[in-house]
Structure 1
Amino acid sequence: MKTLIFGHQNPDTDSVCSSIAYSYFKNQMGESTVPQVLGKIQKESIYVLDKFEISHPNYLENVKIQVRDLKYTKVSPIKKDHSILHAYHHMESNQIKTIPVVDEHGFLEGLLTMKDIAMEMINGDFYHIKTSLSNIMNDLGGIPLYIPDKHNLVEGSVSVMAYYYKSIEGLLGPNDIIIVGDRYDIIEMAIINKVQLLIITGESEIPHKYIELAKKHLVPIIKIPKDTYTVSKLFQQCNFVSKIMKTSSLMKFSLDDYIDDIKDDIITTNFRNYPILDSNRKFIGFIGRKHLLNPGKKQVILVDHNEFSQSAEGIEEAQILEIIDHHKIGGVSTNLPINFINMPIGSTCTIIYELYKSNHIPIPYSMAGLMLSGIISDTLYFKSPTCTQRDIQAVKDLNKITQLDLDQYAMAMFKAGTALEGYSEEEIFFRDFKDFSIHNMKIGISQIFTLDIEEVTKKQSILIEFMNQLRDQQQYDILILTVTDIIHEGSYFFYSLSNENLVSYAFHIDHKQGAFAKNIVSRKKQIIPMLTAAIELLDYR
């Protein structure tokens, strides 16, 4: 199973690029990983991915434990025209108590258990059989003495002949299947009366004249070199498994089912095994109670975040292997020690670039372009207070590979990413939104970037109304929309909260929606610390 690498919800360019670049790095180190995203890829990231001809990562809905993560039991199925005896030997040799029955395409048709076989041996119809000549020969070691062309199906009444031949005179016919030893008088009478099948037991050679007689009357003869008692005892088990397999009320699960959704069904029912079907509804294996005791977990690596609230749904059910981040350490916890790299720099892509460098992994053009783009995006082309000399140096080094006009490229990237045309107010607000808990208050902060503030002011009333509704519905204490102007190096603030003085006090701006705060561009390094300080000073709790 591949390790999943992903950034935070509402992924930005640094998050998307770092997950792809780190996945490539891990794969070059001999591991098996795949990059994913937890939300819609934004226009800026799309521009970058298309520029460097990188496939868009798949969307990851959650990392909850699914049936596919369990070490389920794989069992070779049988067909409904196999014999009960064949099923029994198959189950015994594989030490299983339940066997699936599938059609020629692998679709589940029924289940057969050891209990079903046992009950058939006790309560079954010993005088009727429906099977095939091939089953009889394969399962009982039969030797065909004569089989008419295209003759395989056998269905009729079974008789073991130990009578004087005159006692059964006139009683045999085409519906009869006869089991007999070297009683030539019975053999001759059975052939003349054109029985459906003649089974001769024992080791004795059968005179050729009886085989010729069988050909004349088109009566199939099978010789089974076992005693008559053994053959008669086992013959009933040559029936097709379709006779006794369960076909109704089968409780089935799919590989994509979540354990939380099915465990109650398993615990409250009494079946030993439950069939699993793949996405094409074909049988793939069994699960039972024992598989739920120590379920496998999805293995994940987090980049550009380290808080559960910003990660994939069900992250507490996953096995976190590594975290690569440049944000403050949040409430993440793990059961085992992990590789946790957290640095006070401007971009996760800078950390990943340095890992390439320290491990001497060659950087192809595409990966250089992604990492360079992630750094430029997250540092606002070196204008953010989070930017460090290491970020600047990383971009210089990476551009030796890409040979871009950085000024022109950065402006094109920001222009692609800041266009708001075609987005709803919900899509605008959530394109880069993060939850925070400050002094037990539920706070949400959205940050978008723009080259033209007029695009936002046109939607101002709609955006504020959306925030007011969201705060009521989701019970937020504070919601803030920060619109960062890349050209003028500052941010406009829109908000929904009970005390509107908090925003003006925290950021030293006018007491009005859309007020501009010069040089405030970083959510991590400026907005969160300044908001936290204002909450504490105003005792806004």
Structure 2
Amino acid sequence: MEKKKVWVVGHKHPDSDSICSAISYAYLKNAINQKEDVEYEARRAGEVNPETAYILERFGVEAPELVEDAGSQVKDIKMRKTEGVSSHISIRKAWDMMKDQDIATLPVVNTRNKLEGLIVTGDIAESYMDVYDNETLAIARTQYKNIIETLAGKLLSGNEHGYFVKGKVVIGTATSEVLKDKIESDDLVILSDREDAQLLAIEENCSCIVVSNGFGASEKVLEAAKEKEVVIISTPYDTFTAARLINQSMPIKFFMARDNFTTFTLDDLLSDVKKTMSEVRHRDFPVVDDDMNYIGMISRRNLLSFDKKQIILVDHNEKSQALNNIDDAEVVEIIDHHKIGDLQTLAPVYFRNQPLGCTGTIVYQMYKENGVEIEPKIAGLLCSAIISDTLMFRSPTCTPVDKMVGEELAKIAGVDVEELAIKMFEAGSNFAEKTEEEILNQDFKIFHAGDVAFGVDQVSAMGKKQLDEVKARLIPALDAMIEEKKIDMVFVMLTDILTESTDLICGGEGAREVAQKAYPKATGEDSLWLEGVVSRKKQLIPSFMSSIDA
């Protein structure tokens, strides 16, 4: 049985706490999970920053899979596993298959399961109604095997795997003299049991003889047919019925849609699928992978019922920081240490929010509460998350519990806190190979105060020199950041971990005034120096909220 996946995911532009806590909490949930049909998987909602990449590499853990949208996808609905058919089958066989399966569309695939086209009931109905000339059977390159199946026939002579590719269809009811004038080389002739007519058709180099009314052929006829490689088929139908049915033996590739049809992939969002379906008249749609390998079929009725994605949010509870289309998912848990945000759920959920410096500290507590042993690599991740979020226990958000847990986890992981912190922060402050956009997005969050939307990025380093260099690069990029994020203001905290201070740069109309009002004693020309300010969550954001609302 395929297990139901539950994502454990942090916020957009994830920091180390967001990713490390997601991995660690997914591991814990699987350890205590009593439902065999459920599996918890860590995900990330953005690129891994260099600091987090160092942590993951150091403790030998792979980065979670990237997801950007919580909306339901094609993979979340039950699709119809209609078997693909060859383009060589007859329209009659396709019609019979559709009736047997009560479907209106057949996917056409090649021998490698690549989707080649679609045949729908409308195509077949059109083929029945259209008047084709007597050369169409050859133009369609009809296989003799198809003719045998369509006419419920029996092969008396020749190769059923051959193709009728030249000539026309002739009804041989006339006298021998008239018939001789009508039959040309490579024609297909529908005859009765008249031996003279059959021999005449063979002498005129026909390619195939269809004998009606269940009649056969004499040894003389069969010998002549063998010598000239003529196919002879016996059908139980009379001449009129055989003539009427024979065009139904044409291959579906002659009628199928090859280009003008819509396909979906497993990763397509159902919101996009619904929009496309409303604009297209097709009833059924094939699902393929990126290489056009056929997977299954879906229709509008498949969209009426589907399982929403189940998601556990860690390190955030605000809609603006969550995956896109989070309202389309089912949030089942929230584990966080920030202020209560605006995210709403349809049903009650397990919501654990504690005034601690790091989500990793909460996850540690939950391991202890459930009696689950913390492996060294998980301890390393949680310890790193605490070091990162508390700036090695220097942030005002850091509580005695955070420090105690961080030191305990360091023992389990077998690491030195100060050595790990230095290596982490050095990795995170290597700005030379990053673009300005990458730096601004590595720890960026959006907040709202009344009608004002503002973003705050925090860049930390173990010294002022690195921060001054990156500051000169970031100031010219702020206007583009405001436009891209569709916000009113942007602030960047350039935080010096050693001196426990922040150089704040401001972008957007009124941004500097908001910051100056929040910190009246701050000074600086192109930025504001905030002595003792290192926490975005506990120091900067509350002050800005009060400044904007005042």
- Name the TM-score, length of structure 1 as normaliser: 0.87
Aligned-pair identity in percent equals: 33
Would the alpha carbon gap of residues 213 and 16 (structure 1) be closer, same or farther in structure 2, given more than 3 Å must change? same
Secondary structure (helix, strand or coil) at the match of 2:168 reads: strand
Secondary structure (helix, strand or coil) at the match of 1:323 reads: strand
Which of 123, 135, 151 does residue 146 from structure 2 map onto?
Answer: 135
Pairwise CA distance, 1:362: 4.6
Describe the superposition over 1:27-74 as per-residue Cα deviations: whole angstroms up to 9, x where unpaired.
453533443333332221111011012223343343445555554444
Take 2:522 and 2:224, find their aligned partners in 1: how far apart are those partners? Answer: 112
Show the counterpart of 2:518. Answer: 506
Do the aligned residues in 1 keep the contact of 2:145 with 2:160 (CA within 8 Å)? Answer: no
Gaps of 5+ in 2: none
Pairwise CA distance, 1:200: 2.6
Take 2:126 and 2:353, find their aligned partners in 1: how far apart are those partners? Answer: 64
Corresponding letter in the other structure for 1:21: S
Pairing 1:318–2:329 present: yes
Pairwise CA distance, 1:472: 7.6
Corresponding letter in the other structure for 2:129: I
Pairing 1:332–2:343 present: yes
Pairing 1:112–2:119 present: yes
Show the counterpart of 2:89. Answer: 82
Secondary structure (helix, strand or coil) at the match of 1:480 reads: strand
Show the counterpart of 1:344. Answer: 355
Corresponding letter in the other structure for 2:543: M
Pairing 1:385–2:396 present: yes
Corresponding letter in the other structure for 1:81: H
Show the counterpart of 1:372. Answer: 383
Do the aligned residues in 2 keep the contact of 1:66 with 1:255 (CA within 8 Å)? Answer: yes
Show the counterpart of 2:60. Answer: 53
* Stretch moving more, 465-474 or 306-315: 465-474
Would the alpha carbon gap of residues 164 and 14 (structure 1) be closer, same or farther in structure 2, given more than 3 Å must change? same
Show the counterpart of 2:12. Answer: 9
Show the counterpart of 2:502. Answer: 491
Take 1:400 and 1:35, find their aligned partners in 2: how far apart are those partners? Answer: 25
Secondary structure (helix, strand or coil) at the match of 1:494 reads: strand
Describe the superposition over 1:343-377 as per-residue Cα deviations: whole angstroms up to 9, x where unpaired.
22222222333333444445433222212211221
* Stretch moving more, 366-375 or 74-83: 74-83
Show the counterpart of 1:43. Answer: 50
Do the aligned residues in 1 keep the contact of 2:115 with 2:293 (CA within 8 Å)? Answer: yes
Which of 268, 271, 279 does residue 282 from structure 2 map onto?
Answer: 271
* Stretch moving more, 193-202 or 465-474: 465-474
Pairwise CA distance, 1:294: 5.2
Show the counterpart of 1:182. Answer: 193
Take 1:333 and 1:166, find their aligned partners in 2: how far apart are those partners? Answer: 88
Pairing 1:236–2:229 present: no
Do the aligned residues in 2 keep the contact of 1:75 with 1:286 (CA within 8 Å)? Answer: yes
Show the counterpart of 2:545. Answer: 532
Would the alpha carbon gap of residues 205 and 525 (structure 1) be closer, same or farther in structure 2, given more than 3 Å must change? same
Matches of residues 105-254 of structure 1 in structure 2 within 5 Å? 105-125=112-132, 127-128=134-135, 129-130=137-138, 131-148=142-159, 151-153=162-164, 155-165=166-176, 168-203=179-214, 206-254=217-265
Corresponding letter in the other structure for 1:524: K
Corresponding letter in the other structure for 2:311: V
Corresponding letter in the other structure for 2:20: C
Take 2:347 and 2:480, find their aligned partners in 1: how far apart are those partners? Answer: 41
Pairing 1:481–2:492 present: yes
* Stretch moving more, 279-288 or 466-475: 466-475
Pairwise CA distance, 1:331: 0.6
Secondary structure (helix, strand or coil) at the match of 1:306 reads: coil
Secondary structure (helix, strand or coil) at the match of 1:81 reads: coil
Do the aligned residues in 1 keep the contact of 2:216 with 2:234 (CA within 8 Å)? Answer: no
Do the aligned residues in 2 keep the contact of 1:275 with 1:283 (CA within 8 Å)? Answer: yes
Take 1:170 and 1:480, find their aligned partners in 2: how far apart are those partners? Answer: 93
Would the alpha carbon gap of residues 59 and 149 (structure 1) be closer, same or farther in structure 2, given more than 3 Å must change? closer
Secondary structure (helix, strand or coil) at the match of 2:167 reads: strand
Corresponding letter in the other structure for 2:53: I
Take 1:216 and 1:500, find their aligned partners in 2: how far apart are those partners? Answer: 98
Pairwise CA distance, 1:387: 2.8
Secondary structure (helix, strand or coil) at the match of 2:431 reads: coil
Corresponding letter in the other structure for 2:147: I
Pairwise CA distance, 1:101: 2.7
* Stretch moving more, 86-95 or 251-260: 251-260
Do the aligned residues in 1 keep the contact of 2:193 with 2:212 (CA within 8 Å)? Answer: yes
- Name the TM-score, length of structure 2 as normaliser: 0.85
Take 2:165 and 2:45, find their aligned partners in 1: how far apart are those partners? Answer: 59
Matches of residues 386-465 of structure 1 in structure 2 within 5 Å? 386-460=397-471, 462-465=473-476
Describe the superposition over 1:52-97 as per-residue Cα deviations: whole angstroms up to 9, x where unpaired.
1222334334344555555444432322221111111121122111
Corresponding letter in the other structure for 1:512: G
Describe the superposition over 1:196-216 as per-residue Cα deviations: whole angstroms up to 9, x where unpaired.
112234455654343233223
Do the aligned residues in 2 keep the contact of 1:154 with 1:196 (CA within 8 Å)? Answer: no
Do the aligned residues in 1 keep the contact of 2:156 with 2:216 (CA within 8 Å)? Answer: no
Would the alpha carbon gap of residues 170 and 437 (structure 1) be closer, same or farther in structure 2, given more than 3 Å must change? closer
Do the aligned residues in 2 keep the contact of 1:321 with 1:339 (CA within 8 Å)? Answer: yes
Pairwise CA distance, 1:332: 0.4
Pairwise CA distance, 1:446: 2.1
Pairwise CA distance, 1:7: 1.3
Pairing 1:522–2:535 present: yes
Pairwise CA distance, 1:304: 0.9
